[in-house]
A and B are shown apart, each in its own frame.
Chain A
């Protein structure tokens, strides 16, 4: 049994779609693989009740729980002095890992900036991506919400490989991490 610890349902939905695409895991078990933490701050906080629950499951060797993969956003240093940006995200994660002290295989994957940026970057071909970006600029969406959620949602709903284009090279490392997890 493996666990994938994520920030929220958007991550979980993307990863379930990716697991199906890669034909990894048991479809009936998909919900059991995931633990949604309710945001990055909670994911990096070792005192969360969910971590106490998982620690107990590991202690009991429940489901022969042997591997875990953490997946979360890097976000921006300007928004979070403590854990924002790639380097600090990694540092915060390493502290979490040390405090959890789980005696199982632990790996992590950090989305560049955040999941929505990551998805928008996977839009192909380039001229179509520019259409989305132009639309975003025209409506000044980044002034309303900096996380690119509206444009990412539009992409998920509309075009061109809805909901995701897993053949894009940006997915390669994530695919490798998931394959290793289930390997």
Chain B
């Protein structure tokens, strides 16, 4: 396994995690668990940690805020309580929030921590990256603009990619598709799209617009197709774009028919190995978990884990990380692994 891969993480005072540790991650990692247990928050913590470089770190935090807020919080709610609500909702800290509390996300790759010195309009973030102290002043109004127009420049490490099941822009598709072209692997996407829908002839970028060549109809903008197909395309092109990097896929099977899942996992397992990319994905679906098991076993790919997130009776979030052998054993014994 690549020495740069994330193998362990410690999260303190971040979102729903008070004090959390997990280790044993491999090249491909599928995360299961009940609703609101913190699957997406776990991936966000990993994403922020892996962006733990001077030029990307704060942007990665703001990107995570923007990504979540765009879909889950109305812009009008960005008030003095915004950071509190975003970072500590559901935790024991939400009622006793103290500014100056340190939020820690450490991994085997990077050590990162940050403190919001104020909660109000002009917020100072003090942060430490790999032992070095920094601080930055952030205006809430800037973040509001960023969320509203989605155009506030938030450059992050382009080898750490996070994708949601909805909401990819044409610009991002064009940018990520270029990595597929660089690798001369356009055929992979076209072949898979034909299986996805037998009326599809192929995918092309025409004048910076992603288009689908559809039987009888000719080229149709991708925007006219369902979210499931966009998510499918996004996963494949993002995989190529994150070579020698990391890919985080939220709700991997969202909108994707179960008959496509084995093929999708085959592509992920094969391409991530070839391109040295570490993948983390979440799911709620038993079919998706069984497909992951089946495909990894067929390909004899043991560089995988299944991560089961759940809360124990003290209401603390814990991760049971199943390496390949344990995961196979759990599935073959028909044990429930989708959270507890």
Q: Which residues of A contact B (CB under 8 A)?
A: 1, 29, 31-32, 34-36, 49-50, 52-53, 56-57, 60-64
Contact = CB atoms under 8 A, between A and B. Distances in A.
A56 B308 CA distance: 12
A36 B335 CA distance: 11
Given A35-B333, A36-B333, A64 B313 contact: yes
Q: Which of A1, A35, A53, A56 has the most CB of B within 10 A?
A: A53
Secondary structure call for the A interface: helix
Nearest to B321: A56
B310 interface: yes
Nearest to B337: A32
16 contacts: A31-B333, A32-B336, A49-B326, A49-B329, A50-B329, A52-B326, A53-B322, A56-B320, A57-B320, A60-B320, A61-B312, A61-B314, A61-B318, A62-B318, A64-B312, A64-B340
Interface string B284-323: 0000000000000000000000001010111000111010
A5 B301 CA distance: 29
Contacts of B320: 56-57, 60, 62
B297 to A, nearest CB: 16
Contacts of B336: 29, 31-32
A61 B314 CA distance: 9
Q: Which of A35, A49, A50, A61 has the most CB of B within 10 A?
A: A61
Contact of A62 (B312, B314, B325, B334): B312
B312 A53 contact: no
B61 to A, nearest CB: 29
A61 B334 CA distance: 20
Contact of A53 (B313, B319, B329, B340): B329
Contact of B310 (A31, A36, A53, A62): A62
Contacts of A53: 322, 326, 329-330
Contacts of B335: 31-32
A36 B333 CA distance: 8
Nearest to A60: B318
Given A49-B326, A60-B318, A63-B340, A31 B312 contact: no
A36 B330 CA distance: 11
Contacts of A32: 335-336
Given A52-B326, A64-B312, A64-B340, 10 more contacts: A1-B340, A31-B333, A31-B335, A31-B336, A32-B335, A49-B329, A53-B322, A57-B320, A62-B308, A64-B313
A57 B336 CA distance: 13
Contacts of B313: 61, 64
Contacts of A50: 329
Nearest to B308: A62
Contacts of A56: 320
A35 B326 CA distance: 12
Contacts of A31: 333-336
Nearest to A12: B333
Contacts of B322: 53
Contacts of A34: 333
Contacts of A60: 312, 318-320
A147 to B, nearest CB: 24
Contacts of B326: 49, 52-53
A108 to B, nearest CB: 20
B145 to A, nearest CB: 43
Contacts of B314: 61
A86 B215 CA distance: 73
Contacts of A61: 312-314, 318
